[in-house]
Structure 1
Amino acid sequence: MSYDRTLTRVETYFDKTATRTWEALTSDAPVSKIRETVRRGRDAMRQQMLSRLPNDLRGARILDAGCGTGAMTTELAARGADVVAVDISPSLVAIAQRRLPETLAHRVAFHAGDMLDERLGRFDHVLAMDSLIYYRDADIARSLATLMARSSGRIVFTVAPRTPLLMGMWYAGKLFPRSDRSPTMIPHSPARLARAYAHANGTGTLAPLERVTSGFYISHAMEVTA
């Protein structure tokens, strides 16, 4: 499946099917025990990604690529960054705008659309939490190369790790497709993704960081540095 086709499917899912689910998951509202493990995992991953950037981000322009309901955006703005928060889902962007504290509003520019849109400009750093997990390695590599060409610092992103559990789920999803289900995460290995990035003529070095596992949430952080 091409980047554009996957992008359209992700947009449809998050903007039409799963908006209320994600609004609840990313809030303080009570959720099921399973979703609570996902919430804790996402919180831990967000903190790991933020730890790769300076605590003082005043003067830095940062792309929150796949901002969702805005948790990462808020923390970046609170550190003093000028944040470009983009998500393919207009519904999630609207939630992020509502949740952003008024005192930080002047630091954030929200956009609904493709994170690769060149009109978004250049950045000091890029964070992409769980927004590339539905794409194949070649599409991720090209996306990272595109973003790195417009970034002077680092790109911190996540992928689904290539574990036996996730591989089994992925193959099951291919065997039993359903038009109404969420987009399927594609597991990746750091080494294979690094080779794909080199093949895409990406600049800098792609390296793995740490994996976060919390119940049904499994995600591996990686980064590209100049």
Structure 2
Amino acid sequence: MSDATNTPSYNATRARVETYFDKTATKVWDRLTSDAPVSRIRETVRRGRDNMRARMLACLPDDLSGARVLDAGCGTGMMTQDLAARGAEVVAVDISPQLVGIAQARMPEAMRPRVTFRAGDMLDAAHGRFDAVMAMDSLIYYRADDIRAALATLGKRTGGPVVFTVAPRTPLLMGMWYAGKVFPRSDRSPVMIPHAPKRLAHVTRDIGRLRDAGRVSVGFYISQALEFTA
């Protein structure tokens, strides 16, 4: 089995994601994840992300004192703050140095001693071992084989669950996906790849157990939470 960090498709997708979030969409995500006014469509995305974050956190104990948790793809740090508030020692990693900078600036002073921020690949072995991993919307641009390899890589270094999200194969998302394939635009985000949870469970059956952790659908935000245990 190959390491996800060595596969050409993983590296190519990671490069597109890095370019988008660090060069194109920093201001959009800064505003979306703040209290600033946004459009009605982005308001549904904001509410959907809040609901999904709560759903993912429900997979972990309320008291995380003494636990070391990786926030894989921390973005502007909302999940990081929630984990630190529960007492976890958090390693918050994002491929975008600009988003990491925003997350650092937003971190409440009292929580900062429990958080280590890093810009780079969430799969880097240098991050060490963890009791749990949270990867919200960090794998939504990857193919099934790359997700499998990423879970295998993280599973080797995680004693507990790897909780992550994918774009589910719903009629709406599949329609948007096909439209994106037909009408590509250079200024939009990398294209999400929809996945069926049962298919991912089949693909990952030899490396661990995949559990359905629930779906969130709010307006234009549709996301599926999954829990992987090696």
- Residues matched between the structures, number: 223
Measure the CA separation in 2 of the matches of 1:111 and 1:194.
30
Measure the CA separation in 1 of the matches of 2:143 and 2:201.
13
Measure the CA separation in 2 of the matches of 1:113 and 1:225.
24
1:178: how far off? 2.0
1:225: how far off? 2.4
TM-score for the superposition, normalised by structure 2? 0.95
Matched, 1:79 2:83: no
Provide the residue aligned with 2:140 in structure 1.
133
Which range is displaced more, 176-185 or 80-89?
A: 176-185
Matched, 1:107 2:114: yes
Amino acid at match of 1:104: M
Provide the residue aligned with 2:212 in structure 1.
208
TM-score for the superposition, normalised by structure 1? 0.96
Matched, 1:15 2:19: no
Q: Deviations over 1:82-119 (max 9, x none)?
A: 00000000000000000000111100000101000000
1:179: how far off? 2.1
Measure the CA separation in 2 of the matches of 1:163 and 1:136.
17
1:221 aligned to which of 208, 222, 225? 225
Which range is displaced more, 171-180 or 88-97?
A: 171-180
Q: Deviations over 1:129-152 (max 9, x none)?
A: 001000011101110111011000
**Equivalent residue of 2:71, what SS?**
strand
Measure the CA separation in 2 of the matches of 1:153 and 1:207.
13
Amino acid at match of 1:77: A
1:194: how far off? 1.2
Measure the CA separation in 2 of the matches of 1:164 and 1:190.
15
Matches within 5 A, 1:176-191: 176-191=183-198
Provide the residue aligned with 1:175 in structure 2.
182
Matched, 1:31 2:38: yes
Q: Identity, % of aligned pairs?
A: 70
Measure the CA separation in 2 of the matches of 1:177 and 1:31.
25
1:121: how far off? 0.4
Amino acid at match of 1:111: R
Measure the CA separation in 2 of the matches of 1:196 and 1:64.
24
1:173: how far off? 1.2
1:157 aligned to which of 154, 157, 164? 164
Measure the CA separation in 2 of the matches of 1:181 and 1:10.
11
Measure the CA separation in 2 of the matches of 1:178 and 1:51.
37
Matches within 5 A, 1:46-85: 46-85=53-92
Matched, 1:93 2:100: yes
Amino acid at match of 1:93: V
Amino acid at match of 2:227: E
Amino acid at match of 2:81: T
Unmatched 5+ stretches in structure 1: none
Determine if contact 2:56/2:213 at 8 Å carries over to the other structure: no
Amino acid at match of 1:60: A
Determine if contact 2:162/2:229 at 8 Å carries over to the other structure: yes
Matched, 1:166 2:170: no
Unmatched 5+ stretches in structure 2: 1-7
